[in-house]
Structure 1
Amino acid sequence: MISWPNFVSQLFNGLALGALLALISSGLTIIYGTLGVLNLAHGAMFMLGGYAGYVGYQYSGSFVAAVAAGAIFVMILGVVMERVVIRHFYHRPNEDQLLVTFGLGICFVEIVRLFFSSQSLSVPPPPLFQGITNLGFMYYPTYRLAVVGIVAIALGVLFLLLYRTRLGMIVRAGIEDSVMVDSLGINVDRVFMVVFGIGAMAAGFAGIVNAPVVSLTPGVGDDILVETFVVVVIGGVGSFPGAILGGLIAGEIISITSMFNPSYAYVMLFAAMTLVLVVRPHGLLGAAGRE
């Protein structure tokens, strides 16, 4: 029998997972909305953020330094990846973009496997968030609660960047009409580079923040990539608020379904995505497709 504390605990698990998915999906949807590139290496970037943070933690012993290392490393990788590879595929067929990003993702995974093997690694949570917290009606891991707050702050920073800065205005305008932005004399190439770096950084940041919750393995980004695409579809492609809403919905669906039967978690997630596509083909908060 399912008890009330167990049900509430699963709701909190879903909230933590949903917040994490929202952050990863926001990076993916910003990249696709602005650049028109569906980045299949996004899950590998999530994984790389965790490993870069692990290395940072081994050298510094500081969780804050680990988070900074994970986010900055993947941001730099994203900028290099955009400048060296992705920029040559903006005007190529969509299947070419999918293949090249898929191939890059495989390369990243195999490089990590070469240096770290397939052995599971872990990053401990910071001392402040270790242990469990008494919520009155149940005990819950403190770090999982902290994840919700950390991700909420990160999403808030992204929101301010997108809706309160000149760069954000250009990015949102590029999502609507990149040709018009280019005709206004704005250096679209530079904007694209920055956008790809920000999107990659969101994945890297999420990867290291999630490391104390789920052990690091080279394949840790595979499942998260599938979930992230579902989140983007549910919320609406190119919609930042949609990524947040979709992430929270997906997190709760996976968590609550797992409480009854974990085997059906993905079944229910894809069923929800199908329902959304039938009712609102552009997603819950999405607009008509990119021109």
Structure 2
Amino acid sequence: MTIIGIPAQALFGQLMLGLINGSFYAMLSLGLAVIFGMLRVVNMAHGAFYMLGAFVAWMLLTYVGISYWVSLLLAPIMVGIIGIAFERALLRHLYKEDHLYGLLLTFGITLIIEGLLRQQYGVSGLPYAIPDVLKGGYNLGFMYLPVYRGWVIIVSLVVCFGTWYLIERTRLGSYLRAATENPALVQAFGINVPLMLALTYAGGVALAGFAGVLAAPIYQVSPLMGSNLVIVVFAVVVIGGMGSIFGAIVTGLGLGLLEGLTKVFYPEASSVVIFLAMAIVLILKPAGLFGQPET
């Protein structure tokens, strides 16, 4: 069976890979959008926190024997705690400064985290086994669906849209938005604004840590796994609109599929198609597809 001259198995296989990549793009760009939209910080350390999530899961399994399922809960919490410490110690002093200062600080933190882990574990990569219950796959006729990759797609969608609902449709989300837009007024109502800001940053980096745990069985755990992905994720955020949570989710998934299709029809362009899309969007709509122009 062929579709537009392409074997159906190859086409749907690449679309599956694109959807998996898009799931990681969506989760990582979602965390970036939350942090920028709420705190106005360009978090260059996001890839490092993604990598930390994978490393924490690997360490918990290797040194303590804690399973993948427990790591899905523990690793994001631990990464979030590290994020709170970083935000309270350093980042909070830069909220009123130019965005460039936050970018430089978080980029420096990235280099420190990557350097420490490279010194200890090297860059060759460490394997992380797929849980037994998620091994194997299903032959759908037109393609083979690995169980673990299907799990990644489903849980990514649940986490992404659950986060969007939490921020956009709940009272807690309204408190978070108000705390960043008018902190003095929110403080007057007895709400601890610094704690809200710290928890916002922790939540954003915890999403990156969660994505790292999901990625560990697919990609080898390496100190460079975050830096290889964060530039693409920033492009996704720019295309979706800086600070747009819904835009980050939709654009991440859409660009993953676009990348997969490009690998089928024109493989040479697959590594640049996202940046080409970013250039086109910035020319036609500088605020991004779902972003609002600065006033």
Range of TM-score over shorter length: over 0.9
The answer for the alignment partner of 1:146 in structure 2 is 151
Q: How many residues align?
A: 290
1:171 aligns to 2:176 (yes or no): yes
* Identical positions, percent: 36
Q: Is the contact between residue 179 and residue 196 of structure 2 (CA under 8 Å) also seen in structure 1?
A: no
Aligned ranges 1:202-281 → 2 under 5 Å? 202-281=207-286
Deviation at 1:264, TM superposition (A): 1.9
Q: 1:41 aligns with which of 39, 45, 60?
A: 45
The answer for the alignment partner of 1:29 in structure 2 is 33
Q: CA 1:56–1:264 in structure 2 vs 1: closer, same or farther (change >3 Å)? A: same
The answer for the alignment partner of 1:161 in structure 2 is 166
Deviation at 1:259, TM superposition (A): 2.9
Deviation at 1:187, TM superposition (A): 3.0
Equivalent position amino acid for 2:279 in 1: T
**TM-score (norm. length: structure 1):** 0.93
CA offsets per residue over residues 266-290 of structure 1, 9 Å max, x none? 321111111112222211111123x
CA offsets per residue over residues 9-46 of structure 1, 9 Å max, x none? 11121111112111111111100111111010000110
Deviation at 1:159, TM superposition (A): 2.6
Counterparts of 1:228 and 1:148, CA distance in 2: 17
Counterparts of 2:55 and 2:266, CA distance in 1: 31
Q: Supply the RMSD in Å over aligned alpha carbons.
A: 1.9
1:71 aligns to 2:76 (yes or no): yes
Q: Is the contact between residue 21 and residue 228 of structure 1 (CA under 8 Å) also seen in structure 2?
A: yes
CA offsets per residue over residues 53-109 of structure 1, 9 Å max, x none? 111222225111222232112111111110011011112222211111100000010
Q: 2:124 aligns with which of 119, 127, 131?
A: 119
Q: Is the contact between residue 16 and residue 251 of structure 1 (CA under 8 Å) also seen in structure 2?
A: yes
1:99 aligns to 2:104 (yes or no): yes
Counterparts of 1:39 and 1:253, CA distance in 2: 25
Q: 1:196 aligns with which of 186, 201, 215?
A: 201
Q: CA 1:4–1:177 in structure 2 vs 1: closer, same or farther (change >3 Å)? A: farther
Q: Is the contact between residue 138 and residue 144 of structure 2 (CA under 8 Å) also seen in structure 1?
A: yes
Counterparts of 2:45 and 2:249, CA distance in 1: 20
Counterparts of 1:183 and 1:237, CA distance in 2: 29
* More moved, 62-71 vs 160-169: 160-169
The answer for the alignment partner of 1:134 in structure 2 is 139
* More moved, 172-181 vs 124-133: 172-181
Counterparts of 2:211 and 2:70, CA distance in 1: 14
Q: CA 1:24–1:185 in structure 2 vs 1: closer, same or farther (change >3 Å)? A: same
> Gapped runs of 5+ residues in structure 2?
none
Counterparts of 1:278 and 1:181, CA distance in 2: 38
**TM-score (norm. length: structure 2):** 0.91
Equivalent position amino acid for 1:11 in 2: L
* More moved, 197-206 vs 279-288: 279-288
SS in 2 for 1:133: strand
